[in-house]
Amino acid sequence: MKPRWDCGDSVRLIRNVRDDGTFPGANRGDLLVRRGSTGTVVDVGTFLMDQIIYSVHFLEQNRIVGCREEELIDPDEVWIESRFESRERVRNLRDLAIRGEVKVPAGSIGEILKVLRDEAAGSVAYHVHFDCYAGHPLAVRELALEPAGTKQEETSHV
């Protein structure tokens, strides 16, 4: 395994980093560093002898967090900011149909499975799994979604 970055290299984070229960002073699930943030590699190590882990200092947040290689890109690589991230709950703003048949009515709740960044078009879409169309993820444009809100708000819309 050869690391892609060395100490002192700048990197950009492409996924939100949340506390997994190991960050001092934070609670499990707390957002530590937001995707799109840039930082500097301060150490390179391994986890379970098969994953390279970079300790990255994010100066703006004044945090050093461990990042896997697939969570980082060079800061000069194309980066398209997205409104949502994997595992976030969303609500669609319009009916979603396949061949003219509405499969997901407007206001349905779903979960983001994957962010789809189209560098050529400069746009973002998502693979979304909707509760009402279980087992059939759909590709949905960012403009067709809004945050789902709290679990209580979600159940009041169903």
The 10s digit of each residue's pLDDT in 59-82 is 998 999 999 998 999 999 888 888
Question: Alpha-carbon distance 11 to 41, whole Å?
Answer: 7
Tell whether 145 and 93 lie within a shared domain: yes
Determine the average pLDDT of the residues in 121-137.
90
Tell whether 95 and 65 lie within a shared domain: no
| Domain extent at residue 103 | 89-156
End position of a domain, from candidates 49, 73, 97: 73
Q: Is the pLDDT of residue 158 over 50?
A: no
Task: Write phi, then psi, for 151 (nearest 5 degrees).
Answer: -60, -40
Tell whether 68 and 122 lie within a shared domain: no
Exposure string (b/e) for 109-145, b if CB count within 10 Å is 16 or more?
bbbbeebbeeeeeeebbbbbebeebeeebbebebebb
Specify if 84 maps to a domain: no
Q: What is the pLDDT of residue 85?
A: 84
SS3 content of the chain, % helix, strand, coil (to 5): 10, 45, 45
Please report, for the domain that includes residue 65, its CATH number: 2.30.30
Tell whether 52 and 93 lie within a shared domain: no
Q: How far is CA 92 from CA 84, 97, 114, 143, 157, in A?
A: 13, 12, 16, 9, 12
Question: Alpha-carbon distance 144 to 90, whole Å?
Answer: 10
Q: Which of these ranges, 44-48, 95-99, 136-140, 150-154, has the smallest mean pLDDT?
A: 150-154
Question: Alpha-carbon distance 64 to 43, whole Å?
Answer: 10
Q: How many domains does the chain have?
A: 2
Specify if 106 maps to a domain: yes
Specify if 79 maps to a domain: no
For the record, the structure tokens of 49 come out as 């002898």
Specify if 3 maps to a domain: no
